[in-house]
Amino acid sequence: MQADAPGALRPGGRLVVIGLGPGAADLTAPRAASALAACGDLFGYGPYLDRVPARPGQTRHVSDNRAELARARDALALAATGRAVALVSAGDAGVFAMASAVFEAVEAGPAAWRGLEIEVVPGISALLAAAARLGAPLGGDFCALSLSDNLKPWTVVASRLTAAAGAGFVLALYNPRSNARPWQLAAAFDLLRPILPASVPVVFATAISRAEERVEIATLASAGPERADMRTLVLIGTAATRQIARSGAPPWIYTPRRVAP
């Protein structure tokens, strides 16, 4: 039998990149659940793989949170051998997550990988889950930004942050603060305070839909970075964002769709 050429694809191999949603099992899309059940190998960061129900015959490949590109390469290489492989992310795999790493690896990898069957299964992102808890803070124009400077310089983060705030976008901030990066969120607030009114609502939405869920509402004037960690999505409103007081419950927060000329 002739040996496979280096990088050649074996029949039947495929890679499914799956967004698991924000945490609660009933917020994982049915398509994601069925795709997971059909794969024999699962790749992902340990806490995310822990959210996937164990099934007989499946093999789990756990890697560190910062090993995204290596994880993508390993998953692609195994799929190329004819295996059905799943690669999981929290939230949506296309929002600051593994889908981008997969296609980066495909572009730089063996030419044969471009012929591999790859599917991206969407999930409910953290920003959508958090917004649903609050009302409709993303009802108007908004943008999502990552405060991490692991893959881009802080100067780029800062310029995008101030441009978006100055243009009137609601801001959804991912990766706001970690033990390795404790200063970025405070720096972001300092950049925003000369641009936005002090009364603009700031929401710290931590572990949405999970048992440890915590939602705190502050203003830009009072917001402190210590309220956030890597499980937190920070939502920052605009001058148009409104709060509706409720008796015995946190206010509803919404941003009107209508913008005065």
Please name which of 225, 261, 259, 255 lies closest in space to residue 241, comparing C-alpha atoms. 255
Q: Can you tell me the mean pLDDT for 79-91?
A: 96
The Cα 153–Cα 225 span in angstroms is 20
CATH of 127-254, one of 2.70.70.10, 3.30.1490.20, 3.30.950.10, 3.40.1190.20: 3.30.950.10
What is the pLDDT, as a whole number, of residue 230? 86
CB 165 within 8 A of CB 196: yes
Superfamily for the 14-124 domain: Tetrapyrrole methylase, N-terminal domain (3.40.1010.10)
The rounded mean pLDDT for the chain is: 93
What is the pLDDT, as a whole number, of residue 95? 94
Please name which of 89, 97, 171 lies closest in space to residue 130, comparing C-alpha atoms. 171
The Cα 66–Cα 150 span in angstroms is 9
CB 58 within 8 A of CB 40: yes
pLDDT class of 10 with cuts at 50, 70, 90: confident
pLDDT, one tens digit per residue, over 23-57 is 999 999 999 999 999 999 999 999 999 999 989 99
Residue 2 has pLDDT above 60, yes or no: no
Q: Can you tell me the mean pLDDT for 114-140?
A: 95
Residue 7 has pLDDT above 80, yes or no: no
Q: Can you tell me the mean pLDDT for 156-183?
A: 93
What is the pLDDT, as a whole number, of residue 246? 93
CB 14 within 8 A of CB 84: yes
Give pTM, 2 decimals.
Answer: 0.90
What is the pLDDT, as a whole number, of residue 4? 47
Kindly give the pairing relationship between strand 117-121 and strand 14-19.
parallel
Helix axes 154-166, 184-192, angle to 10 degrees: 30
